Amino acid sequence: MRSYYEDKPATYYGHVRLELLRLLDPSRRFAEALELGCGAGETLRFLLEHGLASRAVGVEMMPEAARQASQHVSEVFAEDADAWSRLPRGVTAPDLIIVADVLEHLVDPWAVLGRLRALQPAGGVLLLSIPNTQHFSVSLPLLLGGRWRYVPEGILDRTHLRFFGREGVDELLRGAGYVPERWDHVSGPRGRLLVRWSLGLLRPWLARQYLVRCRAL
């Protein structure tokens, strides 16, 4: 499985997740940010450089990406998210946790999310990005032709172990002790236009990813 991750392009690990950060209250500042699957640490670096977080800790299983992240964030742990969540180190009470396209790679995302919630104070923020399996590129081939084909990158990425639609994402979050406060999605300019024209009715089939800001209960 690790070889599949090693085949990913450099951009897979090295860009700022601005589409997630836009969900934050622009006036809020965080004492401690934690990101699971931080890649090269660019999102955490952005938080530090813009004064949005005083301290930023990353967890990243790919050694080279973790090495790059360690050059500009507070602390990085080079291990997979499940292993780190079983023995969390480097944080005290992170009031911001970012989990961007990670949970679908885990055997038990429910348990990992529950462990993350246990680290956060009440009122803390979780930012989540997760692929939407109901997207038409997956659901239509399955419905019309029985096709479910794994690919190197995308919703049916061959490194994905779990699959969710919006209802499943909502259940996952609430079961771990989070309340979704703001939802957004990734669908491209044309897709977003169609979602607006349909008053949101087409969102389940046009959203490639769901982006969610949650509050820890």
**What whole-number distance in Å separates Cα of residue 168 and Cα of residue 17?**
23
pTM of the complete model: 0.92
In contact, 160 and 105? CB cutoff 8 Å: yes
Residue 15 is predicted with a pLDDT of: 84
**What distances in angstroms separate CA 132 from CA 60, 100, 210, one per listed residue?**
23, 13, 6
Can you give the pLDDT of all 217 residues of the chain as single tens digits?
444 444 445 455 568 999 999 999 999 999 999 999 999 999 999 999 999 999 999 999 999 999 999 999 999 999 999 999 999 999 999 999 999 999 999 999 999 999 999 999 999 999 999 999 999 999 999 999 999 999 999 999 999 999 999 999 999 999 999 999 999 999 989 999 999 999 999 999 999 999 999 999 9
Residue with tokens 């087409």: 202
Structural domain boundaries, residue 152 = 2-216
- Cβ atoms within 10 A of the Cβ of 168, count? 16
**How many domains does the chain divide into?**
1
| Confidence (pLDDT) at 14 | 65
174/214 Cα distance (integer angstroms):
9
Per-residue burial over 43-77, b = 16 or more CB atoms within 10 Å of its CB, e = otherwise:
bbbbbbeeebbebbbbbbbbeebbebbbeebbebb
CATH number assigned to the domain comprising residue 82 = 3.40.50.150
Q: Taking every pair of C-alpha atoms in the chain, what is the biggest distance, in angstroms? A: 51
pLDDT of residue 12: 52
* Helical ranges in 50-199 per DSSP H: 63-70, 81-86, 109-119, 136-145, 166-176, 188-197
The pairing of strands 33-36 and 56-59 is parallel
- Count H helices, E strands: the chain? 10, 7
Cα 91 vs. chain centroid, distance in angstroms? 19
Q: How far apart are CA 53 and CA 177, in angstroms?
A: 23
